[in-house]
Amino acid sequence: MRIACHFLAGFILTAALTLTNGNADTSAVDSPRAKNIIFMVPDGMGLAGVTAARIFKHGPNSGRLSFETLPVIGYQSTHSADSSVTDSAAAASAWACGEKFNNGEISCHDDNTDGICDRTPAPTILDLAKALGKVAGLVVTSDITHATPAAFGANVHHRRCEAEIARQYLARDIDVLLGGGIAKNRAPCKRSSSGSDDPDSLLAAYRASGYAIIDTKTQMNNAVTDGHPKVLGLFKPDGKTLEMFRVNPDIAYPRQEPTLPEMTAAALHLLSRHDRGFFLLVEGSQIDWAGHDNHLKNQIAETLAFDAAVQEVLQWLSAQPNRRQETLLLVVADHETGGFAINGPRGSLAAKGHFVRDGWTGDWHTAVDTLIWAQGPGSPRFGRALDNTDLYGVIKRVLK
């Protein structure tokens, strides 16, 4: 039986090749240690998806998406321990722990089916941050116990152990959780170590531990105003409403359901009140879901919503002069989904507000490398060819 998340012994980055699309990131040179880590994941987004969203928003000849303005660009390989094509669980676990996992595993290598690791694993990035006295938050558009956030806040043998994941979030005292609902354990996960996989029982446990349980935008804004130290926001039973419904005038988007940018802004307000800093994961989860459906319009809408969340972060960083020097911001996709390619139009340019001609190779993930955008302390170390396991060592090195 292997123990999860071993420290990457001997891992030292002695040089970094920095690729820039602007001026050098001087804040990273001047301040090599990070008080805050903001880790943003456009799940399933490939470079073609970036291009399609940029053309739709700005046209072919001008403008960049917000995350494209970050000064450091690198890329990562994404394979899992048992497959050339990773799933989100193994990919996020590689980030969180710095080693390869089999598809389906959540920062845990154990073969048991009771949902928990028999041996105490080494810390995830979130655990490292909490050990330093920082606060932590997870903000997603999927259910809050989905694979990507789970890898940072839980250690379970399979991604479907979602009730156990929720229990471990509570045990880790994760301060801010905003997204969709909490799912029950599903096969192959047999049970929760808490003795129940009933979401109502889990919510009662959160409430007893001092969390504000919210399910509307108004309640979220009130929690921000009140400065509530612990917030669990569950705005849908599962994944949040498709962003495409917000931009489609023929469909009423739920007015009391906050957007990803709004949830991101709320999390930043809540977490940044703590003097020792924070770790924040933000995921545009449903970019991936649109890729599985080969649905270009949904993919672009979800990508632009994620980009708006990045813009919220950039505005927060600019609001006070010390924030850029103290905060490492990463934008990195776990994998590409659907094998999306742009096939046209040919003989003319796609105009602003128009969709490119799309082609897809399948309805699952692909094995292509994904891009990394970064700024802040330690960011030049991401401006090179990396493996997804390498991100852990760099982040651990710059945490203070």
Cis peptide before 32 (omega within 30 of 0): no
Q: What is the pLDDT of residue 31?
A: 46
Cis peptide before 188 (omega within 30 of 0): yes
Of the CA atoms within 13 Å of residue 36, those in its CB half-sphere come to 26
Structure tokens at 105: 């595993």
pLDDT band per the 50, 70, 90 thresholds, residue 16: very low
Instruction: Determine contact, residues 309/264, Cβ cutoff 8 Å.
Output: yes
Q: What integer is the mean pLDDT of 331-352?
A: 93
Structure tokens at 385: 């060819």
Q: What integer is the mean pLDDT of 265-287?
A: 98
Q: Is the pLDDT of residue 122 over 90?
A: no
Sheet holding 327-332, edge to edge: 212-214, 231-234, 176-180, 135-143, 278-283, 36-41, 327-332, 370-375, 72-77, 385-387
Q: What integer is the mean pLDDT of 275-298?
A: 97
28-398 carries CATH number 3.40.50.170: no
pLDDT band per the 50, 70, 90 thresholds, residue 118: low
Mean pLDDT comparison of 18-22, 111-115, 387-391, highest-scoring range: 387-391
Instruction: Determine contact, residues 272/331, Cβ cutoff 8 Å.
Output: no
Q: Is the pLDDT of residue 349 over 90?
A: no
pLDDT band per the 50, 70, 90 thresholds, residue 23: very low
**First-to-final CA distance of the chain:** 32
All structural domains of the chain with their residue ranges: 28-398
Q: Is the pLDDT of residue 93 over 90?
A: yes
49-63, 115-129, 187-201, 265-279: lowest mean pLDDT where?
Answer: 187-201
Run of H or E residues at 244:
helix 243-247
Q: What integer is the mean pLDDT of 306-326?
A: 97
Q: Is the pLDDT of residue 387 over 70?
A: yes
More confident residue, 247 or 203: 203
Run of H or E residues at 305:
helix 296-319
Give the pLDDT confidence of 184-228 residue by residue, as tens digits. Answer: 777 677 665 555 567 788 999 999 999 999 999 999 999 999 999
pLDDT band per the 50, 70, 90 thresholds, residue 15: very low
| Greatest Cα-to-Cα distance within the chain, rounded to the nearest angstrom | 63
Instruction: Determine contact, residues 357/47, Cβ cutoff 8 Å.
Output: no
88-97, 108-117, 156-165: lowest mean pLDDT where?
Answer: 108-117
Please tell me the distance from the alpha carbon of residue 224 to that of residue 265, in angstroms, as a whole number: 10
Residue 148's φ and ψ, nearest 5 degrees, are -65, -55
Please tell me the distance from the alpha carbon of residue 6 to that of residue 10, in angstroms, as a whole number: 12
Burial of 178 (0-12, 13-18, 19+ CB in 10 A): buried
Q: What integer is the mean pLDDT of 74-100?
A: 97
Instruction: Name the average pLDDT for the chain.
Output: 88
The residue type found at 130 is: K
DSSP class per residue in 165-229? HHHHHHHHT-SEEEEE--PPB-TT----TTS---HHHHHHHHHHTTPEEE-SHHHHHHHHHHT-S
Percent with pLDDT over 90 in the chain? 72
pTM, two decimals, is: 0.90
Of the CA atoms within 13 Å of residue 82, those in its CB half-sphere come to 9
* CA geometry: angle 19, 51, 387, nearest 5 deg: 45
Instruction: Determine contact, residues 111/118, Cβ cutoff 8 Å.
Output: no
The residue type found at 19 is: L
Q: What integer is the mean pLDDT of 131-147?
A: 97
Catalytic residues: 88
Q: What integer is the mean pLDDT of 325-349?
A: 95
